[in-house]
Structure 1
Amino acid sequence: MTTAQVDHLATKRKLTASPLRLAMVVTVSVMLGSAMMSPAVWAQDMSGAGQAGAANRDTDPQSGETTFSDTAGPDESGFSENDEFGATAGATAEETAGQTPSSSDAPLTDPATAVVTATAPAGVDVSKGTSPVVVELFTSQGCAACPPADKLLEGLAERDDVIALALHVDYWDYLGWRDPFGQPAFTSRQKGYARAVKERMIYTPQMIVNGQQRLLGADRVAIKSALDTATASTAPVDIAISQEGDQYRISLSANPPLGHDAMVQVVRYLPHASVDILRGENAGLSMDYTNIVTQWHIVADWDGQTPMTFDTQVEGSNPAVVIVQTSQPGRSVPLPGAIVGAARIK
């Protein structure tokens, strides 16, 4: 399943807001004050020019985290048929004027191909039971609660035993600032995680550790505990990566074999970028972002039992990683499960 297919699925769906819930939330908003409503969490169709954008928000008075609940009829995964957003992709010249990437901006490749961009490594990189822990941060430049989590991810990215990745979602663009790194595909990925455990809401900032632990993005204590547990475990999948020109040979094996099918994914990311945010909830802030994911491709499917070797083309200057993740059937696309192996393409 490619990013293009996931995005095609996403465009077929739109979330409708409940007028009754909207009235309830407006009342809560007046009682609790706008400061408690600022952390961004969920989204919906923006065709109403933002008028429906605040519908169905709920704020935890203790944590300050805001969540959005889907009130339409649930499908088998716990989501409604109309659970997607209408936010547009990209950013205007004014919005990206403050963006100063520190690495090469090589053109993005067609998601339908196995061609990705990454730093060209030399020799062979082998991961034998010492796989780094993969931390995914779902974040947005339009989310007032996200900067502390973005800073925390910056520290995690310095660890050799952690692959820290920032996935910028697009569902808070309607608040007045269109995140230039936001992609509908990352919103869909976060929804896939929620569907996999039959949750009916997503939020930002959220960290997911090795595809399993779901945590508030700035909860240092919980994140440390999850990382300690993950790093103490042995990765079930061995990954070997070798280079031959522009081709990279990826070999996978599991002993004992996995009990589930798995997706082999190649992820490209931008190591660093500085952005001056001009509007929205974070207006006036100058933010540094780390390990910003630009591409996330499924390049192979694996049964998790028979050792497999395949080739994929890698080109460009930005780094990339290989992530092996179990999957489970979804209504139209596979849903992400536990990450069972990862390795850097250096």
Structure 2
Amino acid sequence: MRLAMATCLALVTTLAPSLTSAEAKLPVVVELFTSQGCSSCPPADAILADMARMDGVIALSLHVDYWDYIGWPDSFAAPGHTKRQEAYALVAGEQMVYTPQIIVNGLDRVVGGDAMGVMERVHAHADATTPVELHVAREESGLRIEAGAVPLTQPLEVQLVRYIPEDEVVITAGENAGLTMAYHNIVTSWETVGTWDGAEDLSMTLSIEGSQPAVIILQEPGPGQIRAAVQVDH
């Protein structure tokens, strides 16, 4: 199943909610499940590119592998991306997955090419706050992750995401044959590196290789709601 919409929308570049002193800003984490071999996906890829430039939004592109059989193997696809999308579907009680699909903050699901629908969900989460004050810094030894103790209803998964900011692909076969596509914030790895129950301060250092940007996400198991996230560009 693939859903296509070519709606265009002028995207705002800043989301700036007001905060109370006891709350921290929760970025809007947008996950796009897409494929180079999906003819319905280019409009969604363009929307993701716009959101990648928005303040207050962490936009990530996860290329799935289940369309590779139709004539063009996606060079960014990974089985783990498909499994993550399938896990979201299982939590939601859905019987199938599709591209393009966008999931916002681990909660809301929307057709990826529906620009109006996507922005409605992004703006609905723009005022979201969190009691978790997550701090992440790149050091010579890796990434330093810290958060103060806070009551949690359930332990959170500490996830490390690495991504390529931008790359271009010339597609010569399949449904998108003849297109040259620019992709943005292309996820290269997404792994759970620990859990945190909030009873004590979170303090850990992750050893990482290479210069790819990173995102640290604290998410309820499932996958469920994203409770904190920090993007580290350098």
Shared fold per TM-score greater than 0.5: yes
For 1:313 and 1:151, locate their aligned partners in 2 and report how far apart those are by CA, in whole Å. 33
Could you list the per-position Cα deviations for residues 149-184 of structure 1 after superposition, in whole angstroms to 9, with x for gaps in the alignment?
Answer: 000000000012000000000000000000000011
Cα distance change of structure 1 residues 244 and 178 upon mapping to structure 2, 3 Å threshold: closer
**Cross-structure match for 1:239:** 134
Q: What secondary structure is seen at the aligned counterpart in 1 of 2:135?
A: strand
- For residue 192 of structure 2, the aligned residue among 298, 305, 310 is 298
- For residue 189 of structure 1, the aligned residue among 69, 77, 84 is 84
**Cross-structure match for 2:228:** 341
Structure 2 unmatched ranges of 5 or more: 6-22
Q: What secondary structure is seen at the aligned counterpart in 2 of 1:287?
A: strand
Cα distance change of structure 1 residues 308 and 153 upon mapping to structure 2, 3 Å threshold: same
Q: What secondary structure is seen at the aligned counterpart in 2 of 1:264?
A: strand
Structure 1 residue identity aligned to 2:131? P
Structure 1 residue identity aligned to 2:26? S
CA deviation after TM superposition for structure 1 residue 231, in Å: 1.2
Matches within 5 A, 1:43-122: none
**Cross-structure match for 2:210:** 316
For 1:131 and 1:211, locate their aligned partners in 2 and report how far apart those are by CA, in whole Å. 12
Preserved CA contact (<8 Å) 1:210 1:339:
yes
For 1:190 and 1:307, locate their aligned partners in 2 and report how far apart those are by CA, in whole Å. 31
Does 2:114 correspond to 1:227?
no
**Cross-structure match for 1:162:** 57
For 2:198 and 2:121, locate their aligned partners in 1 and report how far apart those are by CA, in whole Å. 25
For 2:88 and 2:131, locate their aligned partners in 1 and report how far apart those are by CA, in whole Å. 21
CA deviation after TM superposition for structure 1 residue 64, in Å: 5.6
For 1:165 and 1:240, locate their aligned partners in 2 and report how far apart those are by CA, in whole Å. 20
CA deviation after TM superposition for structure 1 residue 215, in Å: 0.4
- For residue 169 of structure 2, the aligned residue among 263, 275, 282 is 275
Preserved CA contact (<8 Å) 1:215 1:222:
yes
More strand by share: 2
Query: How does the TM-score come out when normalised to structure 1?
Result: 0.60
**Cross-structure match for 2:158:** 264
Q: Which has the larger radius of gyration?
A: 1
Structure 1 residue identity aligned to 2:36? Q
For 1:227 and 1:194, locate their aligned partners in 2 and report how far apart those are by CA, in whole Å. 20
Does 2:73 correspond to 1:178?
yes
For 1:254 and 1:213, locate their aligned partners in 2 and report how far apart those are by CA, in whole Å. 27
- For residue 32 of structure 2, the aligned residue among 134, 137, 140 is 137
Preserved CA contact (<8 Å) 2:31 2:59:
yes
Structure 1 residue identity aligned to 2:181? M
For 1:277 and 1:340, locate their aligned partners in 2 and report how far apart those are by CA, in whole Å. 37
Runs of 4+ in 1 over 3 A off after TM superposition: none
The alignment yields a C-alpha RMSD, in angstroms, of 1.6
For 2:156 and 2:210, locate their aligned partners in 1 and report how far apart those are by CA, in whole Å. 27
Preserved CA contact (<8 Å) 1:253 1:305:
no
Query: How does the TM-score come out when normalised to structure 2?
Result: 0.87
* Higher mean C-alpha deviation, range 299-308 or range 272-281: 299-308
